[in-house]
């Protein structure tokens, strides 16, 4: 039998050396990149600015403040059927983020092309299930882009007490979100100014070929917080997270409402993110924590009699034994196969 490439003792020494110098590498957690971007102008030079929602906040739940919320959606010929389905997914996702109810947020939808159709009123649906069913039944209107007429209809017919809008004395915010992919075929500046003067806060969402100047004429100020742009309908639902931040009640502490952070929850403007205690690092899931190996070693060296240090040492020892055992088993298996192969070659 030929001599084995390395003695068992030498291999064991290599294994111990490998374990002694091993380091723990945490997997890098890449936060989900939000492709939806807001498109706005600066107040002084009117140059467009691209903004991306903070990834640390987008997956965190929040509670919307009570609103009278009206979606004004473009369903003209330029919006293809598959794209219009994306708009309805966006509306349904928005419904999931809201506290829908008669005493919470009320939702209406105004659908427009060359004509305007109020799909349902603020007084019609006070629970999410019925609201989402109503959204699913909306059909496109096909021709024209009468955005100004749609805003006027929302102001005169949807935002009225008769239709379910609450009295001004109740201090319930009136919000309109306009979604369009084209240039209006009528005037939007005056009617939008009238709507804003009546107390309606307007957000303008442009898609693909949307006219930026028209979006800016429609929206409330500051424009950088009220004008958004996405390149395709395929990513419009990504704006849900941005609106969730915007429509959250700033007076509510999301950490107090419940969170899944293992160690520390940090309130961050109607959202939250997780942090770890000293000596720990945040894992890739951005929720749980793992001990830093270097600080664990320092704790053992500082006082080996401490119970905490003993527990750390025991865990390290067990981990080392398990790694070593696995490598020895693998080594023995390889050695046995080599010996078997050499025996077969010797017989040949």
Residue 229 lies in a domain: yes
Mark whether 78 and 177 lie in a shared domain. yes
Q: Which residue spans within the chain are E strands per DSSP?
A: 38-41, 48-51, 67-74, 106-112, 116-120, 173-180, 200-207, 227-230, 264-267, 272-275, 280-282, 289-291
Mark whether 242 and 281 lie in a shared domain. no
Q: What CATH number corresponds to the domain at position 99?
A: 3.40.50.410
Q: What pLDDT score does 70 carry?
A: 98
Residue 47 lies in a domain: no
Mark whether 143 and 290 lie in a shared domain. no
Q: What pLDDT score does 307 carry?
A: 64
Q: What pLDDT score does 42 carry?
A: 32
> Which residues have CB under 8 Å from 334's CB, separation 6+?
none
Model pLDDT for residues 42-80, shown as the tens digit of each residue? 333 333 333 333 333 434 445 667 899 999 999 999 899
Mark whether 237 and 271 lie in a shared domain. no
Residue 15 lies in a domain: no
C-alpha to C-alpha distance for 250 and 252, rounded to whole angstroms: 6
Residue 41 lies in a domain: no
Domain range for 221 is 67-248
Q: What pLDDT score does 29 carry?
A: 34
Q: What pLDDT score does 249 carry?
A: 61
Residue 56 lies in a domain: no
Domain count of the fold of the chain = 2
> Which residues have CB under 8 Å from 14's CB, separation 6+?
6
Q: What pLDDT score does 47 carry?
A: 36
Mark whether 155 and 256 lie in a shared domain. no
Beta bridge partners of 40: 49
- Sequential pLDDT tens for the chain (348 residues): 444 444 444 443 443 443 333 322 222 233 332 333 333 333 333 333 333 333 334 344 456 678 999 999 999 998 999 999 999 999 999 998 888 999 999 999 999 999 999 999 999 999 999 999 999 999 999 789 999 999 999 999 999 999 999 998 888 999 999 999 989 999 999 999 999 999 999 999 999 889 999 999 999 999 999 999 999 998 898 898 888 878 876 555 566 655 778 898 887 655 678 889 988 999 988 889 999 875 444 444 445 455 666 777 777 888 888 888 877 777 777 877 777 777 777 766
Mark whether 88 and 236 lie in a shared domain. yes
């Amino acid at each position: 039998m030929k001599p084995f490439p390395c003695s068992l003792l030498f291999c064991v020494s290599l294994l111990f050396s490998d374990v002694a110098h091993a380091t723990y590498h945490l997997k890098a957690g890449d936060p989900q990149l939000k492709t939806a971007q807001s498109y706005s102008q600066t107040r002084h030079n009117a140059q467009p600015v691209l903004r991306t929602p903070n990834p640390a906040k987008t997956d965190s739940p929040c509670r919307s403040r009570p609103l009278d919320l009206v979606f004004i959606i473009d369903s003209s010929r330029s919006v293809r059927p598959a794209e219009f389905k994306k708009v309805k997914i966006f509306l349904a996702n928005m419904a999931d983020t809201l506290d829908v109810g008669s005493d919470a947020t009320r939702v209406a939808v105004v659908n427009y092309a060359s004509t305007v159709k109020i799909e349902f009123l603020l007084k019609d649906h006070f629970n999410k299930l019925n609201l989402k069913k109503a959204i699913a039944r909306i059909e496109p209107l096909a021709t024209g882009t009468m955005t100004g007429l749609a805003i006027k209809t929302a102001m005169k017919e949807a935002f009225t007490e008769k239709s379910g809008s609450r009295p001004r004395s109740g201090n319930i915010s009136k919000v309109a979100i306009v979604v369009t992919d084209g240039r209006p075929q009528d005037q939007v500046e005056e009617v939008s100014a009238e709507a804003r003067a009546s107390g309606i806060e307007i957000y303008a969402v442009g898609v693909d070929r949307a006219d930026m100047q028209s979006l800016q004429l429609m929206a409330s100020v500051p424009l950088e917080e009220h004008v958004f742009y996405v390149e395709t309908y395929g990513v419009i639902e990504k704006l849900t997270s941005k609106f969730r931040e915007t429509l959250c009640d700033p007076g509510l502490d999301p950490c107090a409402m419940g969170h899944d952070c293992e160690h520390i929850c940090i309130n961050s403007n109607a959202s939250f993110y997780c942090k770890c205690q000293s000596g720990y690092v945040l894992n890739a899931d951005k929720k749980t924590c793992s001990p830093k190996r270097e600080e664990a070693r320092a704790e053992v060296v500082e006082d080996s009699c401490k119970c905490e240090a003993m527990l750390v040492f025991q865990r390290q020892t067990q981990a080392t034994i398990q790694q070593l055992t696995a490598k020895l088993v693998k080594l023995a298996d390889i050695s046995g196969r080599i010996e078997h192969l050499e025996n077969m070659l010797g017989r040949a």
